[in-house]
Amino acid sequence: MKRYEALLALDTRGKEDTAKETIERLEKVIAAEGAVIEQVQRLEKRELAYESHHTKSAYFVNFIFEADPSAIDKLQKKLKLDDDVMLQNYMQLPAKKKAVTA
């Protein structure tokens, strides 16, 4: 298993108060692919550098997790079909350093 970071831009137009439920649902989707979620960073609503899907802002959330490399392709395909996910970007992170005990 390798460590990954997934930055997702969520379309919250007209449903700003449901961002929490959407993030929880996406956590379940990621975990369903065998990933172990380490951290979820809610980055709040931000302006986009350019208009995407006829919107100028999106709610950003960053997931840090461990998963098999094959899970990333599956996640990209699943989330591409999700109406709430506008943009997605995945990056492999270095392995977590283990604590040295004396």
In order, the DSSP letters of 31-59 are: HHTT-EEEEEEEEEEEEEEEEETTEEEEE
Of 82 and 16, the structure prediction assigns the larger pLDDT to 82
pLDDT band at 102 (very low <50, low <70, confident <90, very high): low
Positions of E strands within 1-102: 2-10, 36-52, 55-67, 85-93
Res. 16: pLDDT tops 70: no
Average pLDDT of the chain, as a whole number: 89
Q: How confident is the model at residue 42 (pLDDT cuts 50, 70, 90)?
A: very high
Question: Which sequence spans correspond to the domains of the chain?
Answer: 2-93
Q: Match domain 2-93 to its CATH number in 3.40.600.10, 3.30.70.360, 3.30.70.60, 3.10.105.10.
A: 3.30.70.60
pLDDT digits (tens, 9 = 90+) for 47-57: 888 887 688 88
